Amino acid sequence: MDDTRARRLLDDTLAELDATAGTVREENEEFRDEQIDSGGRMSQHPADYASDVVNRNERDLFLGDARQEREQVLAAQRRLDEGIYGICVDCGQLIDDDRLEVRPQAARCLPCEQRAEQRAGH
């Protein structure tokens, strides 16, 4: 994986994350507006209210993931600047190009990633 290609993939990933997170954030704001509009009218159908809350939690979860992904992309850009991009942070082996094409922000080779996920309890 050459640096130019890596940088472009990372830029694309970042733009994609920002676009997706932006959409979700707008939806969250609409949701807040709805709550304000209803001005203390708590007689809203309980089922509707419950499903709104569930959606909200899912969105917050999603935003959390997007933030984490973003951090990973920024970290990968730093590794690129430092000339250590594409090298597994755990074992020091080169990460497969195939893997980087799909996930340019990957910090670990696949076996190390799987081990790390197992440690994290996934």
Residues that bind Zn ion (CB under 5 A): 88, 90-91, 109, 112
Give whichever of 19 and 120 is closer to Zn ion, judged by the CB atom: 120
Kindly list the distances between the CA atom of residue 60 and the CA atoms of 8, 40, 64, 67, 76, in Å, as whole numbers in the listed order.
28, 23, 6, 10, 24
Give whichever of 52 and 113 is closer to Zn ion, judged by the CB atom: 113
* Cα–Cα distance measured from residue 85 to residue 89, given in angstroms and rounded to the nearest whole number: 9
Give whichever of 52 and 90 is closer to Zn ion, judged by the CB atom: 90
CB of 114 to Zn ion, least distance (A): 10
CB of 83 to Zn ion, least distance (A): 18
CB of 1 to Zn ion, least distance (A): 15
Give whichever of 66 and 107 is closer to Zn ion, judged by the CB atom: 107
CB of 100 to Zn ion, least distance (A): 13
